[in-house]
Structure 1
Amino acid sequence: MNIFVAGATGALGKATIPLLIASGHQVYALSHSEKNTAVIRQLGAEPITADLFDRASLTRVLEATNATAIVHLATKIPPTARMGKVESWQENDHIRRDGTRTLADAALAVGVQTFVYPSFYYVYPDRGAQWIDALSTPVQSHVIQQATIDAEAEVARFTQEKRKGIVLRMGNLYGPDVPSALEQFQMAQKGFAALPGPGDAYLSYIWLEDAARAIVIALAEAPAGVYDIVDDEPLTRDAFVSALAHSVGKRHLLRIPNAVMKFLAGAAADMTNRSQRVSNRRFQELTTWRPTVSHARQGWTLIAEEKHVSERMASYA
């Protein structure tokens, strides 16, 4: 399969491209700079220059590469300190909403048959301790997540044209190659946990490599639709903090008060405080995918076992 990837140089792209190549696919990746081109070549893919927001440019590229599938991983997540400001998400919204629409238009104009888009589980409402998934739970719009919902609609439009559109609603990505996870780990080493939401509210996470494998397997095995890519056992925030503390050799972490976290979260406060106990059951029923890291207790222990965590963090600075 010839696969066109947008967003190849992010953490998820770097984890996914080698797996695609190892599965026998020919991978072409969108590049915007010489630095990106070098990274893409190092990953084993062929760098391609095009404009994500120009249908004609993308159509030419998809035709030239004879692409049969698109994997749209491109994002521009703002720094943690600015996530609560709506204006900080404008570039990311542009990529998600407009970039997805332009990619779908170009794909429909040529022979692309499959479109995979990793979405985010924050589109779900608060459901307390209730298990939720794409089949049972409608999305709840939020100013910071609306662009992702709009992008999902573009994938659905692609499917309506008798193609295969796949949305993978990912949990929070974590692992030793995810900068935000390393930030959490280093803060825990200092005795603190910054985690918005009530202690009994659920979080859904997914190990980076498990997320990447889900993309590769979805291309080959999943029917068109929306699926949840999370670990097997979402933890409450209290259990999550306990697991994080254990991984750094501490009995407890000082959790920043939720009132302070809400203030810092700004416009994102309502979204980040939700309890979302998401189930991966349907994706496991329809494919051979199984998470190798079942829950955050296991994941944080694995991160702690990684050597040179501080050096890894410095490399992302």
Structure 2
Amino acid sequence: MRVFVTGATGWIGSAVVDELMASGHQVVGLARSEKSAQALAAKGADVLRGDLDDLDSLRRGAAQAEAVVNLASKHDWGNPAETDRAERTSVHALAEALAGTDRPFVVAAPLSGLVQGRPATETDVSPAVGLDSNRGGSENLALSYVPRGVRTVIARFAPSVHGAGDWGFVNFLMAAARKQGVSGYVGDGATTWSAVHRDDTARLIRLGLEQAPAGTRLHAVAEEALTTKAIAEAIGRHLGLPVVSVDPQDAAAHFGFVGGFLAKTMTASSDLTRQLLSWKPTGPTLVEDIESGAYTAAG
């Protein structure tokens, strides 16, 4: 298939491009800079210049493709409203271009905020609806196009999609440990996160693109529940730093914006995903990645 990928040179997107091309698909990657365009071209992918605010480019890329994978996000932690707006408008533009085609539309979504008190499952409906909700309610918006002839597939990512080069939450925790001279966790460290290796995530997206029925929600989760204390202990072992508890009131000052996430349990099951696609994660665990030096450059 000719697959249009947004976020094609990002942390997850670059692995997805490699996975798709290795499986015989032709990739067209959205590139907002000359550096990104060159990186895509060097892999043998086609390039479409534009960004999330260039809706005409998004529509053109979707209209000329046989499938779309939407991985791009502004991830503007200082202005979440702008992140939400850009995500909603870009998903809307892509979905409109695909309406009536029955073509696959894989949309990335977070696992955080779905449920409380238990791991989220693929049957849980996102409570985010509308522009003012998390990620602009883009998951439900994309799914609303299923009756309009779009094979929407939601790919929900664990809070830690890890591996060498990861710039996400664990990268910020590593940087905070270097800065503070201690590896910290919030409170008793009993809050838990799910995790998955980047390569396993890329393979899941390809399988979902190729096989998942319209309206499917997939969970990119390898480790269902890893305590934040265990993450801090792995960072402490790797850096040779003491491991300490940080009072919840001091979390923002100690960790920066990621402190708020560190205090939240964000877990999910992937049982239905594994059954549907015969997907079996094979990559290293998060602790293995930390201890092997995958985050050495952080900070």
TM class, shorter-length? 0.7 to 0.9
Give matches, 1:84-163, under 5 Å: 85=78, 88-108=79-99, 111=101, 113-127=103-117, 130-135=118-123, 137-141=124-128, 146-148=133-135, 150-163=137-150
Aligned to 1:174: 162
Secondary structure of 1:134's counterpart equals coil
Amino acid at match of 2:99: L
Secondary structure of 2:290's counterpart equals helix
Amino acid at match of 1:227: L
Give, in whole Å, the separation in 2 of the partners of 1:259 and 1:99. 37
The answer to whether the Cα contact below 8 Å between 2:185 and 2:229 also exists between their aligned partners in 1 is: no
Q: 1:41 deviation in Å?
A: 1.2
Give, in whole Å, the separation in 2 of the partners of 1:142 and 1:193. 37
The answer to whether the Cα contact below 8 Å between 2:52 and 2:72 also exists between their aligned partners in 1 is: no
Q: 1:29 deviation in Å?
A: 1.1
Q: 1:95 deviation in Å?
A: 2.4
The answer to whether the Cα contact below 8 Å between 2:2 and 2:66 also exists between their aligned partners in 1 is: yes
Give, in whole Å, the separation in 2 of the partners of 1:263 and 1:138. 34
Aligned to 1:204: 194
Give, in whole Å, the separation in 2 of the partners of 1:297 and 1:234. 12
Give, in whole Å, the separation in 2 of the partners of 1:140 and 1:263. 30
Aligned-residue identity in percent:
24
Matched, 1:277 2:264: no
The answer to whether the Cα contact below 8 Å between 1:188 and 1:253 also exists between their aligned partners in 2 is: no
Amino acid at match of 2:70: H
Amino acid at match of 1:30: L
The answer to whether the Cα contact below 8 Å between 2:102 and 2:149 also exists between their aligned partners in 1 is: no
| Distance verdict in 2 for CA 1:271–1:296, change over 3 Å | closer
> Which range moves more in the overlay, 216-225 or 24-33?
216-225
Give, in whole Å, the separation in 1 of the partners of 2:184 and 2:75. 18
| Distance verdict in 2 for CA 1:266–1:186, change over 3 Å | closer
| Distance verdict in 2 for CA 1:259–1:145, change over 3 Å | farther
> Which range moves more in the overlay, 262-271 or 116-125?
262-271
| Distance verdict in 2 for CA 1:268–1:309, change over 3 Å | closer
Amino acid at match of 2:144: R
Amino acid at match of 2:18: P
Matched, 1:185 2:179: no
Q: Deviations along 1:56-103, whole A, 9 cap, x unmatched?
A: 54444444x3x111000111113xxxx3x5xx1233212211111111
| Distance verdict in 2 for CA 1:189–1:268, change over 3 Å | closer
Question: How large is the Cα RMSD of the aligned pairs?
Answer: 3.2
Q: Which runs of 5+ in 1 are unaligned?
A: none
Give, in whole Å, the separation in 2 of the partners of 1:262 and 1:248. 22
Q: What is the TM-score when the length of structure 2 is the normalising length?
A: 0.84
> Which range moves more in the overlay, 99-108 or 142-151?
142-151
Aligned to 1:221: 211
The match for 1:235 among 219, 226, 240 is: 226
The answer to whether the Cα contact below 8 Å between 1:243 and 1:296 also exists between their aligned partners in 2 is: no
Q: Deviations along 1:296-317, whole A, 9 cap, x unmatched?
A: 3333233x2x5x933xx58xxx
Give matches, 1:270-309, under 5 Å: 273-293=263-283, 295-302=285-292, 304=293, 306=294, 309=296
Give, in whole Å, the separation in 2 of the partners of 1:309 and 1:294. 16
Give, in whole Å, the separation in 2 of the partners of 1:241 and 1:265. 12
Greater percentage in helix = 1
The answer to whether the Cα contact below 8 Å between 2:274 and 2:280 also exists between their aligned partners in 1 is: yes
Give, in whole Å, the separation in 2 of the partners of 1:228 and 1:73. 15
Q: Which runs of 5+ in 2 are unaligned?
A: none
